[in-house]
Structure formats: structure tokens, C-alpha cells
Amino acid sequence: MTTRPSPLNIAILAAGVGKRMRSSLPKVLHPLAGRPLLAHVIETSRKLEADRICVVYGHGGDAVRARFPDPDLQWALQAPPLGTGHALAQALPQLGADGVTLVLFGADPLARAETLEAVVRHARAGALSLLTIELDDPTGYGRIVRDADGAVQAIVEHKDATAKERAIREINTGVMAAPTQHFARWLKAVDNRNASGEYYLTDVIAMARKEGVRIETSQAGSVIETLGVNTMRELADLERRYQRAQADALLDAGVTLADPARIDVRGSLTCGADVAIDVGCVFEGTVRLGDGVTVGSSCVLKDVTVEAGAQILPFCHLEGATVGANSRIGPYSRLRPGADLASDVHVGNFVEVKASSIGRGSKANHLAYIGDTAMGAGVNFGAGSITANYDGANKHRTVIDDDASIGSNCVLVAPIKVGRGATIGGGSTIAREAPADMLTVARPRQMTVPGWKRPAKKPKSPKG
């Protein structure tokens, strides 16, 4: 019989003002890879299968709570912010009294669940568990001070450290865990007699030592897991580090990247074999690229599936769309939500498709709008033509059957059906059904007006 591990509480400290961001947006709502910093931390917390997650909020609290209305989150207000020890004290009443509590930070977004599991394991064994890392330049971070036997004695904040202590390269990431009852007891004894006048959570180290509680440390796998954000410069640096990590993972999976420094993955990107991606592309939401897909420069793909062999030419914007095998999109095409393209479809420059299906081998190569349309196979949709799907109040459907040909500069006024093999003459406005296998033309009669003269500009009056 498997014994269930002790309950896990997670306290996410997210009440900081973030003055150095110089922004009215709360620090934890600034985006990293397209999502708020705090969203990354919450996602990781859920991967740990926490029994309770409490977010400690303060500055910009209403905006933070509104952004995360999730029912599985508890909230604790810290006002005013008086340090990390004070913040955790506000969270404890919202957490279970038993089990262990893991402390995370809302602006430190990239710790992996696997790394945090090691921290939690030590706490479940009764220890005060710390996550540390060694930095070449530890300036600004709290130092891990050990005794001659290597046991942790204390964490000393940079501003309070001696010259000898500042030479220590092992730093405190801030992440820690311990049995919840230990935290509850220790926090009652934490005071604010320090250079900042704040209640430091790190003061519990000395209390644990005094009580004989083991202090265990785990090393983070990489620096990126430990980095937090306090300035726009740090946010930009972390974004580039994150994106380079995504690029490296794609390269390791066999994807060809024209320049690993010029790709942004803001969600999940899955690639088949022999995928090639040019510079300046952005992938958002969930994107899947099949075998042999090529994506040209400066494209944006959001929640898109592109089947094998398809080409996305430069400067295309695809959202909520499906592109069939061996299709060719662009350059300068826009596929909006609900665009569902079969195989061998061509959608060319300055063509927009929305909430429409396009059958196998159909083409719309130039300057067209296709909205709320069911288009069959083998259709040719001419340059400058549109489906007029909106009457000012409601959307209406257009049906174009297989092998139809729509001439240039046509307007198909929905609701309407164009029959199989029908041809619509260029320049026509079609408001009634066009029969199959026939030519339908709807143009005004051409006129030439004798004696007509083009208006001339009036001469400018002299300045006087």
C-alpha cells in the first residue's frame, strides 16, 4: 500500500511594489514569454500537485486578483509590505496547519518542478530545506554562510554582509520549505532589527539551528531557474535567456533555425522532422508544425496546426487556423480563427481568411477576403474579390462548390451559393444563387458620355 505524502502548501510571495520597474503595472503582471511572471509560478505550483496555493498580494492587488480568478487559489493581503517573513505570516492562516509549506516568489518565474520537488522532499523529511546556487557575481544576493563542517549557519543579506561574507559565491534563491508548524513557530520570533527594518524570512535559519532542526540544501540545475525580476533590464535579460533555452531545445530536436537569437516561443511549439524556421518568427499559444514545414521570416503563429510539407512564406499572421499538407500561405497572408485549409491550398499575398473552410487544391492568390465561407475543392478565387458576409447586424454564410471560378473584383453577397463548376465573371456583384456549370455575370452597362470634361483645378488667388 502506497503512503500518501504529507500535504503540500505553497505560498507565493507577490506583494512587492516593484519601484525599480518604473511602471504602473504590478511587477508580477509583467509578461515573460507572453504570460505574466506570476502565471509561470502558478503553473509550476500546480505541477507539484499542491494541496493549497496561497498568493500573497499587495501593490496593485485588485489587478493581480482580477488577472487570476482561478478557484484553486487562496489570497492573503500584505499591506504594507514589511518583508518576506511578514509576507509568509500573512499566508499561513490560508494554508493547512499540517504538512509542509514551500515558499516561492511571484517574480521568480522559471524554477522547474523537478528542482522544487527536491526541496519539498527534504522538508517532508523534517528539514528546513533551501534552494541555492553558486554565481560568479553574487552581488545583491543573500550569502549562504556555512561552518567548518559545511553545515548552513545563516543566510546574510548582501547589505548586511561583511567583506568576507560578500566573497561567498553560494547564494540564497529565496526558495525554501519546511514543516508548516515550524514556520508558524519561527515567524512569531522574527524581528526587524536589520538595515532595512524588515522581517526577513531568512532569520528562521538561526532559529532552526538553535532548535537542532536539520538544514538541507538543493542546488538549482541552472542559473535561469533562480533569476528574479526587479527592473525592466532584468526582465529583458530573462526573456532572452528563456528564448535561447527554447531555441536550444528546438535545435536539439532537429529543427533548423536561421538564427537561434531571433525566435520567440510564447507557449508550446511542437515540430516534426526537417522543420525550418527563418528569423523574427513568434509562436504563441499551442503551435504544431508537421514534418518538412517551412516558416518564412517575420511570421506570427498563434494556436495553429500546420500539416506536413506546408510553406508559410514571410510576413504572415496565422491565428486559430489549420493549414493542410503541402499548402502554401503568403507572403503577407492573414488566417484568422476558424480558417481550416485542406491540403494543397494556396493563399497568397494580402488575402484574409476567417471562419472558413477551403477545400483541397483551391487557390486565392491575391488581394481577397474570404469570411464565413464553405469553399470546395479546386476553386479559383480571383484577385480583389470578397465574400460580403456581414449585413451590419448579422453574419451570413457563403457556399462555393467544387471547381467554381470566381473572377477578379467580385462581391459575393451572403447568404449565397455558387454551384459546382460555376464561373462568376469579373467585376460582378452576385446576390442570388449562381447555377452550376454556367457563367453568371452581374455588371452595370458600360457607358461613354460624349462631351464630358474632367474638372480642372481653380487657379490660386495671388497673395496680397
In tens, the pLDDT along 77-127 reads: 999 989 999 999 999 999 988 999 999 999 999 999 999 999 999 999 999
Q: Share the mean pLDDT of the chain.
A: 95
Rounded to whole angstroms, how far apart are CA atoms 202 and 161?
Answer: 13
Core vs surface per residue 152-176: b (16+ CB within 10 A) or e: bebbbbeeebeeebeebebbbbbbb
pLDDT at 159: 86
Instruction: Copy the grid coordinates of residue 43.
Output: 503553473
Q: Which residue has the cell 476567417?
A: 354
Predicted confidence (pLDDT) at residue 45 exceeds the cutoff of 80: yes
The third-level CATH classification (topology) of the domain covering 8-225 is: Spore Coat Polysaccharide Biosynthesis Protein SpsA; Chain A (3.90.550)
**32: Cβ contacts below 8 Å, ≥ 6 apart:** 40, 109, 110, 229, 235, 238, 239, 242
pLDDT at 2: 56
Question: What is the reported pLDDT for 194?
Answer: 82
User: How high is the pLDDT of residue 456?
Assistant: 86
**254 Cβ contact partners less than 8 Å away, ≥ 6 residues apart:** 271, 273, 274, 275
In this model, does residue 47 exceed pLDDT 70? yes
Question: What pLDDT sits at residue 5?
Answer: 84
Residue 51 pLDDT > 70: yes
C-alpha 116/C-alpha 112 separation (Å) is 6
Query: pTM for the full model?
Result: 0.89
Q: Which residues contact 449 (CB under 8 A, 6 or more apart)?
A: none
Lowest mean pLDDT among 157-161, 248-252, 298-302, 304-308: 157-161
Catalytic (active-site) positions: 366
Cβ-contact 99, 178 below 8 angstroms = no
For residue 122, what is the enclosing H or E element? Answer: helix 113-124
The string of pLDDT tens digits covering residues 229-244 is 999 999 999 999 999 9
Specify the pLDDT at position 460. 81
User: Alpha-carbon distance 328 to 342, whole Å?
Assistant: 11
Q: What percent of the chain has pLDDT over 90?
A: 86
C-beta separation of 216 from 176 below 8 A:
no
* Alpha-carbon dihedral angle through residues 257, 263, 266, 267, given to the nearest 10 degrees: 0
Cα separation, 388 vs 394, in Å, equals 11
Measured between alpha carbons, how far is 363 from 142 in angstroms, rounded to an integer? 62
Exposure class string for 136-147: b at 16+ Cβ within 10 A, else e: eebeebbbbbee
Q: How far apart are the first and last CA of the chain?
A: 104
The band of 464, judged by pLDDT with boundaries at 50, 70 and 90, is: low
Name the more confident of 202 and 53.
Answer: 53
**What is the C-alpha to C-alpha distance for residues 8 and 95, in angstroms, rounded to an integer?**
9
The answer to whether 13 and 97 are in contact (CB under 8 A) is no
Q: Is the pLDDT of residue 463 over 80?
A: no
Using the predicted structure, report yes or no on whether residue 404 has a pLDDT greater than 60.
yes
How does pLDDT run across 163-210, given as a tens digit for each residue? 999 999 999 999 999 999 999 999 999 999 887 889 999 899 989 999
Among 57-66, 232-241, 453-462, name the one with the lowest average pLDDT: 453-462
Counting Cα atoms < 13 Å in the Cβ hemisphere of 211 gives 16
- pLDDT at residue 1, as a whole number: 52
What pLDDT does residue 15 have?
94
For the chain, what are the domain ranges? 8-225, 246-440
Q: Topology of 246-440 in CATH?
A: UDP N-Acetylglucosamine Acyltransferase; domain 1 (2.160.10)
Q: Read off the pLDDT of each residue in 238-253 and give the average, rounded to a whole number.
A: 97
Whether 318 and 301 have beta carbons less than 8 Å apart is answered as: yes
